[in-house]
Amino acid sequence: MKPTQYSFKKVFGIKTTQGELFEDVAKPLVEDIIHCKNGLLFTYGVTGSGKTHTMTGSPGQGGLLPRSLDMIFNSIGPYQAKRYVFKPDDKNGMEVQNQVDALLDRQKRDSQTTVPKTPTTRRIDPEFADMISPEEACKADGVDEDSSYIGCFAVPPQSKILREDQNHNMYVAGCTEVEVKSTEEAFEVFWRGQKKRRIANTQLNRESSRSHSVFIIKLAQAPLDADGDNVLQDKNQVNVSQLCLVDLAGSERTSRTRAEGSRLREAGNINQSLMTLRTCIEVLRENQMCGTNKMVPYRDSKVTHLFKNYFDGEGKVRMVVCVNPKADDYEETLLVMRFAEMTQEVEVARPVDRPICGFAAGRRQRNQAFKEELTRRLEERGGPLDGESPTVLNQLLQSFPPLPPCEISGPNDDVTLPRLIEALEKRHKIRQMMIEEYNKTANMLKSVLQEQDSNLLSKENFIQEQRGKLGEKDKMLQNQKNEIDRLEKKSKMLEYKIDILQKTTNIYEEDKRSLQHELESREQRLQREMSEKRRMEARMQGIVTDSKLKWEKECERRVNAKQLEMQNKLWVKDEKLKQLKAIVTEGKTENRQPQRPSREKDKVPAKRSASPSPVPTGPPVRPLHRRSHSAGGERWVDHKPNTNVDLDTVLQPNLPNAIKVNAPSEKALSKCDKYVLTHQEVASDGEIQTKLIKGEVFKTRGGGQAVQFTDIETLKQENPVAASRKRRSSETGPDGEPKEGDWTDVETRCSVAVEMRAGSNLGPGYQHHGYPKRRKP
């Protein structure tokens, strides 16, 4: 397989812990939800790549979801409102109840449930026990102390109908929102949802990996009133932020799921939702990079329709791509990696933070400090009595002197009344002193509060001034960020155009190379055809010259033969006339045989005998060794079929440095540049005739080998004492006349192998059995 490279923001290896993954991926989203910003995190990959383990984890190795819940409740724990102070309005919003209604709801809950109030004594499911160790616990920075928080878990119903709230955000209608006050309660609600999901999958005969899992965590936040005691009774000041954790179904072909019937249809719907997600991301990327305004098909799937606000800019979106190195998942993994790499190029707008209220900061701390100071001052005046509570009334009663007995013993009792009057006067003085002390303390506290108010006012003015400057800086930074975004988009657009131009240039270069290669091949072919044409012209010129010479000799021979024939006829007539004259003049004489002229040119060639000459008794003449024209310095492929017959002849084709094969093969042809085929056939005289068919080997454009035949050599074996073609001039018959069929010249008495071009001639009347030299096809 050709290696393919993909680029991502960060890559986590097999040794990465769940805590390290949470620090880089999910922790920024948890900090955003605490600061009234939305977040979406989903895992994506093929079945068995570790999506569910990444999201939920296992005991001792908590995943992204348990760690996110633990961080949320560790951060808002001291600032949580009492239960039922916030109440869902069934329209994806929250409203604030008064203290009386919230108290009634709490009493109703306590009377209906038997669960202990303290979350520490609640029994936790063993599958969620020890998910996160105390050493790994963390909390967010910058939590607003002047606000109250509640966390709730959204439990969707069976009928998943989507609605749109007043802020144009999508939500599941009829969704039950459970308020949780601790990490343990959140774990319990989450695990109940997991068990219901497993039961539903079992009833539907469906794999858990082939269904989407959506977990929505809502965090409601409302400011405290001016006193810092209660939540502000204003629905418009309630801010609800969401963190959606999605475990997508496995991304693989329907054929690999081996599903049938309803499971097959459901698997097709799941793959269709994943395809819709890819399509939405591609359209967003095209709109941003190319400046188009195509409609994003969010409504084609419920998953994309539910989270369309996140893709439009209402929060951050992060995706964790899980990869399995299994060879069977190679093609699906490539599609996952390609889609994940493309999603990095999509940018969504960030919403502007909305102010919560106009109250001064630090209200909760000031109220707490005032309560602590008042308690301290009351404790300085005296502690509580034995068995009594430290109330203000008890402290005042303890500061007065005790009253004397009030019984009067008689009319002359002058002691009781003066004592009583004295005690009452002392009490009055003490009361006056306490009033003065109270007024003094009140004035001092009032001056302290006025001083603190003046300091707070000056600090608020300074803060407002700094906020104004910070706003200007933010505007400047936003303008610079917009300019940077514009330049980045322009740069990406230019890079995209450069990539297109580079690809176009590569295509043109490839076409140029192919055309140049074709031109070179055509030029080579033209050169070969021109050389072949010149060779054929030379060959035809040689053939024409040979034919002309042959016919000239043939014409001369025929003319000479005709002249000799006419001379013979004339001589016969002359002889007849002489005989007639002798008969007429001298009478009948003895007839005699006429004599032919003895001159060499008057000799009449004898007819060729059809029967072969008798075999001589002497030893046969050994034919000379003939070297084949195929021998050379080139590398040959010697193709000899198995059907050929081995001949015990002296002349044999000699091909040095040749590869001998019974059948031609591309491997043998690729190593040589010449080819010869040894072919045997029976000639007309019954002898075996061997033909050497030669050719040149050249490479084809497809990478193979081809042979172009250029020459043929013929090797033939014949009897050296075969019938003579000429008469012998040294032998005569009994009457002195030459014998019919004898040879006429000595030079042909030796049996010698003759090699000459096909079509050549030894002279009129001469026939030969020489081997024809090569004949071009």
The pair of three-digit structure tokens given for residue 116, joined into one six-digit string: 């202990």
**Is residue 405 within 8 Å of 417, Cβ to Cβ?**
no
51 marked as binding residue: yes
Of the candidates 666, 695, 668, the residue with the CA atom closest to the CA atom of residue 679: 695
Rounded Cα–Cα distance for residues 565 and 568 (Å): 5
The pair of three-digit structure tokens given for residue 404, joined into one six-digit string: 């004397």
148 marked as binding residue: no
505 marked as binding residue: no
50 marked as binding residue: yes
Rounded Cα–Cα distance for residues 394 and 396 (Å): 5
Type of residue numbered 508: Y
What value, to the nearest 5°, has the Cα angle with vertex 608 and ends 604 and 610? 155
Pairing of strands 636-639, 162-164: unpaired
Pairing of strands 755-756, 86-88: unpaired
The pair of three-digit structure tokens given for residue 724, joined into one six-digit string: 């003579």
Angle, helices 64-76 vs 183-203, to 10°: value is: 150
Map residue 268 onto helix, strand or coil.
helix
Ramachandran angles phi, psi of 685, nearest 5°: -90, 10
With a CB cutoff of 8 Å and minimum separation 6, the contacts of 557 are 763, 764, 765
Rounded Cα–Cα distance for residues 55 and 252 (Å): 20
Q: Left, alpha or beta for 387 (phi > 0: left; psi -120 to 50: alpha)?
A: left
Sole residue written with tokens 């440095």: 657
Rounded Cα–Cα distance for residues 378 and 380 (Å): 5
46 marked as binding residue: yes
Of the candidates 2, 5, 3, 20, the residue with the CA atom closest to the CA atom of residue 320: 20
The pair of three-digit structure tokens given for residue 144, joined into one six-digit string: 């607003």
Hey, how many other C-beta atoms are within 10 angstroms of the C-beta on 348? 16
Helix, strand, coil distribution of the chain in percent, nearest 5: 45, 15, 40
410 marked as binding residue: no
**Is residue 61 within 8 Å of 132, Cβ to Cβ?**
no
The secondary structure of 357-389, three-state, reads CCCCCCHHHHHHHHHHHHHHHHHHCCCCCCCCC
What value, to the nearest 5°, has the Cα angle with vertex 355 and ends 177 and 241? 20
Of the candidates 27, 53, 56, 57, the residue with the CA atom closest to the CA atom of residue 39: 27
Longest dimension (CA), the chain: 246
The pair of three-digit structure tokens given for residue 393, joined into one six-digit string: 């009334």
Q: How many CA atoms lie within 13 A of 551 on its CB side?
A: 5
Map residue 144 onto helix, strand or coil.
coil
Query: What's the sign of the alpha-carbon dihedral 458, 459, 462, 464?
Result: negative
Type of residue numbered 190: F
303 marked as binding residue: no
Residues 373-405 as b/e (b if ≥16 CB within 10 A, e otherwise) read: eeeeeeeeeeeeeeeeeeeeeebeeeeeeeeee
**Is residue 186 within 8 Å of 180, Cβ to Cβ?**
yes
Rounded Cα–Cα distance for residues 471 and 194 (Å): 46
Hey, how many other C-beta atoms are within 10 angstroms of the C-beta on 25? 19
The pair of three-digit structure tokens given for residue 398, joined into one six-digit string: 């303890």
120 marked as binding residue: no
Binding-site residues from annotation for ATP: 45-52
Binding-site residues from annotation: 45-52
